């Protein structure tokens, strides 16, 4: 075991040497070479064969891959063909169904018409027979008095008048329509008038509206049609009872006699300046609330009555603007703290500006301002003494009135210590005592209004906290901001609609966006609003689409179109229509950020419900990314809203982890903007809600605190930036409180208050 034995080998005896040894040696060598050559050739042959087999296998694999790809391509083509075939089949089926439905409807209509014709013939035959019998029976008897109660009165609006066509403005036709209006004002039966004219107007609308094409020039030439629509729309929005009340004798003494209300409506309809039409146009352009139309038409009448006839045309825009200021604004309280000097009413504001314009005391020629501009003049709420103070003490002109903002000395003690140095808050006192940004903006924009200059008060949030500044009209078209100090998030309130708008709506105005240039848009919106109310949906949508096609950057036009499309909930547009509108709004939003805001509303209301949860999240993310690329820093408010929509969806699904991923990323991205960081943190905490566990709250609080300490917190002495940081610290403390760590929360609050108090102490109150 373990011993390896060598294999035995046979003993080979050497051959005997002979004289033929050289020949044998040579033969042996030749045989060896032959064997070696044969083996080498065999080896090379095997190698070539292996290569050929490998190449064949590779070619076979490639062939199979090509065949598989071709099979997949054919399968895809067949699937696409099958899909198209299904769609075509559906389309054909739908068309066939529609054709059959149309044929069935046409057949039924023909049958109904034939039935009515036969019934009418039968009724006529019976009537003639009855008349003949009555004549035979009462040949010698006196005629009986007809029963007036049983005889329906003939409608005063039944006579035919032309609303369109080349003959509609012939004197006889105009006179016939005027007679109907006079009868209406006498009888005050607006319900009967609208019942008579709504079907007539509906019948002629296809002549003016074809798809999204509006024959505007033809429309404005149809005097009777314009007036009929204006009356019907006014009655619908203000309410017939309001108009009846205005026209009903009440014992009130009118400056223009007892017939004043009727004279007012005749003037509003027939004056060459088209007062009622102007009122309705500007009501639509400024997105007026229909609920306010009753208030507006009453005030319009009051202003008309107190204006001499020679001045009504000159001050028409002023009267319209005063009438369109929302009652919530027109009746709001003044900031002047003197109960003994109440603010001027809207009627008194109108009288004041007419008086000062006639005396040439105003900085502007108020007669040349448009209604949209005047809305930001007449919405001021001040006693007359403040108006007079401005004209006496301030000598700025229209182009430099913004300097009034900086003329008010800034008081850090008011900002830091919340000092209130005012007794009456009059212009004189503000100029004497100084103030902070809100006082500067109040002083500058309200004094501008008193001088007849359109101006707005703008507010916005930024890295240094909330701020207030102004924008004012510096010439006939252009607006200029003053005191913004780099803030780009400013918003102001529209005096008519009450809707908050971004300051870019004013700053981007040009000669192409004046009221005169937008008359077609105003008429399109007016028509669509009226047609929507009488159920003429196709024409209403066509008129609304005409406005957005012709004026794609007009916010009011898109708002009107969305309102018209969604008016009939039982006949809502297809998803593709809403998707197209959303895409167009986003595209035009590059030049008008308000349209992006509207696009997100359309997305939320009319598109999201049709998508799955994952599709909604993807759509929201795409929308947010588009916003960031499109609007930049100037409309960060839209980005914040887009993030909030995503957060709300995740919250509704109870997806705390998804919330964490979303907000950690967004908070990190906006650490250089304290205002956005604060808003996002507030959203995050709100969406966490009561469902989140203490552990989840603690993880969230730690993440946010880390970001705050590393990127947001500063050591500088800027009081306003510090105030923003302290507000964020309090939110972080609240998060730790929800995490059950009261000790940590209190520590953060104490640190925040210590920092804040140290900053306050630097600014002692003025003596």
DSSP states along 30-87: HHHHHHHHHHHHHHHHHHHHHHHHHHHHHHHHHHHHHHHHHHHHHHHHHHHHHHHHHH
Residue 551 tokens, joined? 């004026």
Distance CA 241, CA 247 (A): 10
The DSSP code for 499 is -
State how far the Cα of 707 lies from the Cα of 713, in Å rounded to an integer.
Answer: 9
Share of residues in the chain with pLDDT > 90 (%): 59
Q: Which among 100, 118, 136 is the end of a domain? A: 118
3-class SS shares of the chain: helix, strand, coil, % to 5:
65, 5, 30
Residue 412, Cβ neighbours under 10 Å: how many? 18
d(CA 241, CA 227): 20
Domain check: are 582 and 647 in the same one? yes
Q: Are residues 739 and 640 in the same domain?
A: no
- According to DSSP, the β-strands at 491-493 and 500-502 are antiparallel
Residue 75 lies in domain? 36-118
Q: Is residue 472 part of a domain?
A: yes
Which alpha helices (H) appear in 138-189, and where do they start and end? Answer: 171-187
- Please indicate, yes or no, if residue 422 is contained in any of the structural domains: yes
* CA–CA separation, 687 and 183 (whole Å): 61
How many domains is the chain built from? 4
Of the listed ranges 405-419, 517-531, 645-659, the one predicted with least confidence: 645-659
SS3 135: helix
The average pLDDT across 292-319 equals 97
Task: With respect to residue 69, please indicate whether it lies within any of the assigned structural domains.
Answer: yes
Give yes or no: residues 634 and 683 share one domain. Answer: no
Residue 480 pairs in a beta bridge with: 472
- What is the bridge-based pairing of β-strands 465-473 and 455-462? antiparallel
- The mean pLDDT of 359-372, rounded to a whole number, is 96
- Whether residues 669 and 626 fall in one domain: no
Compute the C-alpha angle 522/525/528, nearest 5°.
150
> Where is pLDDT greater, at 432 or 11?
432
b/e map of 389-408 (b: 16 or more CB within 10 Å)? bbbeebebebeebbebbeeb
- Give the tokens for residue 204: 């002629």
pLDDT band at 9 (very low <50, low <70, confident <90, very high): very low
Taking the CA of residue 434 as centre, how many other CA atoms within 13 Å lie in the half-sphere pointing to its CB? 11
Domain boundary pick from 436, 463, 495: 495
Q: Measure Cα distances from 206 to 167, 209, 210, 268 in Å.
A: 18, 5, 6, 27
Alpha-carbon distance of 471 to 454, in angstroms, equals: 9
Q: How far is CA 478 from the centre of its chain?
A: 23
The three-state secondary structure class of 19 is coil
Could you tell me the pLDDT band of residue 400, with boundaries at 50, 70 and 90? very high
Q: Are residues 695 and 609 in the same domain?
A: no
The model's pLDDT over 625-676, given as tens digits with 9 standing for 90+, comes to 776 666 666 678 888 888 998 898 889 888 999 999 999 999 999 998 999 9
674-688 vs 694-707: helix crossing angle, rounded to 10: 170
Indicate whether 60 pLDDT > 60.
yes
Task: Say whether 436 sits in a helix, a strand or coil.
Answer: coil
> Distance between CA 421 and CA 227 in Å, rounded?
56
In a domain, 352, yes or no: no
Mean pLDDT, residues 565-594 taken together: 87
What pLDDT score was predicted for residue 382? 97
In whole angstroms, what is the distance from residue 217 CA to residue 204 CA? 15
60, 83, 118 - which closes a domain: 118
**530, part of any domain:** no
Q: In this predicted model, what pLDDT tens digit does every residue of 719-761 receive, in sequence order?
A: 999 999 999 999 999 999 999 999 999 999 999 999 999 998 8
Say whether both 631 and 728 belong to one domain.
Answer: no
Same domain, 436 and 409: yes
Cβ partners under 8 Å of residue 97, min gap 6: none
Q: What pLDDT does residue 571 have?
A: 85
What number of other Cβ atoms are within 10 A of residue 72's Cβ? Answer: 10
Both 679 and 710 in one domain: the answer is yes
670 part of a folded domain: yes
- What is the average pLDDT score of the chain? 85
Say if residue 628 is in the same domain as residue 700: no
Please tell me the distance from the alpha carbon of residue 594 to that of residue 693, in angstroms, as a whole number. Answer: 39
Q: What is the pLDDT of residues 18-42, one digit of tens each?
A: 444 454 555 454 454 444 444 444 4
**pLDDT of 110 higher than 80:** no
Rounded-to-integer distance, Cα 130 and Cα 24, Å = 155
Unique residue bearing structure tokens 């009267």:
319
658 within 8 A of 684, measured Cβ to Cβ: no
Q: What is the pLDDT of residue 265?
A: 97
* Residue 467 forms part of a structural domain: yes
615 part of a folded domain: yes
Region label for 486, one of left (φ > 0), alpha (ψ between -120 and 50) or beta (otherwise): left
Model pTM score: 0.76
Task: Return the pLDDT at 122.
Answer: 61
pLDDT score of 767 more than 70: no
Which pLDDT belongs to residue 33?
42
Determine the pLDDT at residue 547: 95
Length of the chain: 767
- In whole angstroms, what separates CA 217 from the centre of its chain? 29
Q: Which residues are bridge partners to 455 per DSSP?
A: 472
**pLDDT per residue over 538-555, tens digit each?**
999 999 999 999 999 999
- Side-chain half-sphere exposure of 42, counting CA atoms within 13 A: 6
What one-character-per-residue DSSP string does 366-387 give?
Answer: GGGS-HHHHTTTTT----HHHH
Evaluate the CA torsion angle 733, 737, 741, 745 in order and state its sign.
Answer: positive
What pLDDT is attached to residue 350?
98
The confidence band for 597, taking pLDDT boundaries of 50, 70 and 90, is confident
Nearest CA to 676 out of 420, 382, 464, 501 is that of: 464
pLDDT band at 8 (very low <50, low <70, confident <90, very high): very low
Residues 612 and 705 occupy one common structural domain: no
Q: Which long-range contacts (CB under 8 A, 24 or more apart) does 253-259 make?
A: 254/305, 255/305, 255/306, 256/305
Cβ distance 199 to 536 under 8 Å? no
CA distance 229 to 194: 9
- Sheet with 465-473, strands from edge to edge, namely 479-482, 465-473, 455-462, 491-493, 500-502
481 and 584, same domain (yes or no): no
Tens of pLDDT, residue by residue over 273-305, are 999 999 999 999 999 999 999 999 999 999 999
* Residue 254 scores a pLDDT above 80: yes
* Nearest-angstrom CA–CA distance, 667 and 701: 13
Same domain, 677 and 753: yes
Return the residue matching tokens 């848009």: 521
| Residue 16 pLDDT | 46
Q: Looking at 396-499, list the stretches that DSSP marks H as alpha helix, in order from N- to C-terminal side.
A: 403-406, 412-417, 427-433, 437-450
């Amino acid at each position: 075991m373990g011993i390896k034995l060598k294999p035995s080998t046979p003993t080979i005896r050497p051959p005997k040497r002979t004289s033929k040894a050289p020949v044998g040696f040579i033969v042996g060598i030749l045989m060896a070479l032959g064997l070696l050559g044969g083996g080498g050739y065999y080896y090379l042959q095997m190698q070539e064969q292996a290569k050929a087999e490998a190449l064949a296998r590779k070619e076979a694999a490639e062939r199979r891959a090509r065949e598989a790809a071709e099979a997949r391509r054919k399968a895809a083509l067949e699937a696409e063909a099958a899909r198209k075939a299904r769609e075509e089949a559906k389309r054909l089926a739908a068309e066939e169904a529609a054709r059959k439905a149309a044929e069935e409807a046409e057949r039924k209509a023909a049958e109904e018409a034939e039935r009515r014709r036969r019934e009418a013939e039968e009724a006529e035959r019976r009537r003639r027979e009855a008349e003949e019998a009555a004549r035979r029976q009462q040949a010698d008897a006196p005629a009986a008095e007809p029963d007036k109660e049983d005889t329906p009165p003939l409608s005063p609006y039944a006579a035919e008048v032309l609303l369109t066509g080349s003959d509609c403005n012939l004197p006889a036709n105009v006179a016939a329509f005027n007679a109907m209006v006079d009868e209406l004002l006498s009888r005050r039966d607006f319900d009967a008038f609208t019942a008579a004219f709504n079907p007539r107007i509906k019948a002629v609308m296809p002549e003016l509206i074809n798809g999204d094409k509006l024959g505007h020039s033809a429309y404005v030439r149809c005097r009777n049609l314009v007036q009929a629509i204006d009356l019907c729309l006014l009655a619908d929005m203000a309410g017939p009872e309001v108009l009846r009340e205005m026209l009903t004798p009440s014992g009130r003494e009118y400056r223009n006699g007892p017939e004043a209300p009727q004279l007012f409506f005749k003037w509003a309809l027939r004056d060459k300046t088209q007062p009622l039409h102007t009122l309705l146009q500007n009501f639509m352009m400024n997105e007026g609330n229909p609920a306010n139309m009753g208030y507006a038409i009453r005030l319009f009448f009051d202003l008309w009555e107190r204006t001499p006839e020679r001045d009504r045309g000159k001050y028409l825009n002023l009267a319209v603007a005063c009438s369109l200021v929302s009652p919530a604004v027109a009746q709001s309280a003044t900031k002047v703290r003197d109960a003994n000097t109440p603010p001027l009413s809207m009627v008194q504001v109108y009288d004041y500006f007419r008086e000062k314009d006639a005396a040439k005391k105003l900085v502007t020629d108020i007669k040349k301002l448009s209604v949209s501009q005047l809305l930001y003049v007449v919405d001021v709420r001040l006693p007359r003494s403040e108006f007079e103070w401005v004209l006496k003490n301030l000598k700025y002109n229209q182009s430099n009135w913004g300097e009034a903002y900086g003329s008010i000395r800034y008081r850090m003690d008011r900002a830091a210590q919340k000092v209130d140095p005012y007794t009456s808050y009059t212009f004189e006192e503000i100029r004497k005592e100084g103030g902070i940004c809100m006082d500067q903006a109040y002083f500058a924009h309200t004094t501008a209004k008193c001088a007849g200059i359109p101006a707005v008060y703008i507010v916005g949030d930024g890295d240094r906290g909330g701020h207030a500044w102004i924008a004012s009209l510096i010439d006939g078209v252009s607006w200029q901001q003053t005191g913004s100090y780099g803030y780009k998030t400013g918003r102001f309130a529209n005096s008519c609609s009450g809707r908050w708008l971004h300051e870019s709506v004013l700053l981007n105005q040009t000669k192409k966006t004046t009221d005169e240039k937008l008359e077609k848009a105003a008429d399109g919106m007016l028509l669509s609003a009226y047609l929507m109310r009488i159920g003429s949906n196709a024409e209403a949508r066509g008129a609304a689409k005409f406005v957005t096609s012709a004026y794609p950057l007009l916010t009011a036009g898109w708002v009107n179109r969305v309102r018209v499309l969604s008016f009939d909930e039982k006949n809502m547009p297809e998803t593709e229509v809403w998707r197209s509108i959303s895409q167009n709004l986003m595209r035009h939003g590059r030049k008008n950020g308000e349209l992006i805001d509207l696009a997100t509303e359309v997305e939320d209301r009319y598109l999201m419900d049709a998508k799955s949860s994952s599709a909604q999240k993807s759509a929201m993310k795409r929308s947010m990314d588009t916003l960031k690329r499109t609007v930049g820093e100037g409309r960060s408010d839209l980005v914040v809203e887009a993030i909030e929509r995503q957060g709300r969806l995740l919250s509704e699904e109870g997806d705390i982890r998804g919330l964490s991923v979303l907000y950690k990323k967004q908070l990190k991205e906006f650490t250089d903007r304290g205002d956005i960081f604060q808003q996002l943190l507030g959203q995050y905490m709100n969406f966490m809600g009561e469902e989140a566990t203490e552990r989840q709250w603690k993880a969230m609080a730690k993440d946010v605190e880390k970001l705050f300490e590393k990127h947001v917190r500063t050591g500088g002495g800027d009081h306003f930036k510090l105030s923003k940081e302290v507000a964020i610290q309090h939110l972080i403390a609240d998060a730790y409180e929800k995490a059950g760590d009261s000790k940590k929360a209190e520590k953060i609050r104490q640190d925040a208050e210590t920092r804040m108090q140290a900053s306050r102490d630097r600014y002692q109150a003025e003596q």
